[in-house]
Structure 1
């Protein structure tokens, strides 16, 4: 393992440990997260019960397939709330107040520091609930899932995290020019929270395009769930990988561009 990778992993572990210590000081936040996760899960399961009380499938999706999708959505929501969104909110505040300048003085990659600077371990509840739902969905599918299908699910789930992170990082980087961007994160959270819990195939064609290429909910949520429930063709898997590479490369290049033009709080 290279020294740079070891250094980066040490940074991530340090911020995670600090976040865990913060939760120990404010245990109420953890219990609130548990209650919120339970309420959200019950609400979504009731919605599925109503739908499948009237039909056997929803645009080709079985109850077990939609359970897998809900699990993926829970997992990604947890990852976003665990580290991505709180870190971006801290980044925006740091740029606005001028404290981001201190980040640039540290001997580490500035984008990595900005991406993990704030951790909210209470949202780990959503991550674990999501994985639990996925496991239960596998039982409900009633068949043995082939190893390659498991591999496709794991790969697309990781790619989904990369896509969501890169998309949000692109938005967060805009804060170097447009200071008040908090509402954009709220809009994303609303769209992801509402549209992400359903397969994009049920939406009108224009909305499917938006949820696939503008706000990449389809690649992040629907594709991993599809990989687990019915399997993926190589074209969809390749397209997901390509979108992830393009988004990550774009956010990396945009960050470097922002760093080259950032003049500091004193400017």
Structure 2
């Protein structure tokens, strides 16, 4: 991103010194009547000495924001991976918003600026692991935007990243280990928001509990040494209508959940009494 901005800045500087864009003085002295002013995008990028990085760019087509904390930036391989994701998301947003503007113009509709924001946060920092969450919010011109939570767990020993759910034998194994704990707590939260008890299998579209495959799983820690708690995140439309917002259910890891962890990762976990 910084190299891209540097090249842009150099191009602007060269253009300012030679408005005609060529060697001929006549070419520089005779501006093209078809030339139009192009709005200059505003972009800021901040990389602190402790490893944190924050990027913000706004153009007529889109708003893009992306950041990650120092704990992630200090791990070179992880920072590189997050930087690649940054460039991919920024490029996708630029392409999609440009196409949406063309389509809006062709159809005679006003264009609503698209946006993508992502903020990586530390869930747990352990001696051998770093668990991160990513708060993502997007808007693509509709009635309202959308948002979600993503998971990334960095294995410091292997230099690899994976989703938290991949630390378990299978999603089905974790779902079985949870038993009714997740659903009971989710229904308690839903009843509080809806002002009425939630009956499983009722007429309400969102009366049943979502499957584990529809949730984001985060692994956390209360002792700074092992993963001993889970957060199960249900985004908009997963456990309730958009107006209800997202749901987060926090659970301590018990023996049943511990048994659902893959053997090679078992030492990173402990049951929480």
TM tier, smaller: under 0.3
TM-score, with length taken from structure 1 = 0.27
More helix by share: 1
Q: With CA pairs under 8 Å and 6+ residues apart, which has the higher RCO, 1 or 2?
A: 1
TM-score, with length taken from structure 2 = 0.26
More strand by share: 2
Q: Which is greater in Rg?
A: 2
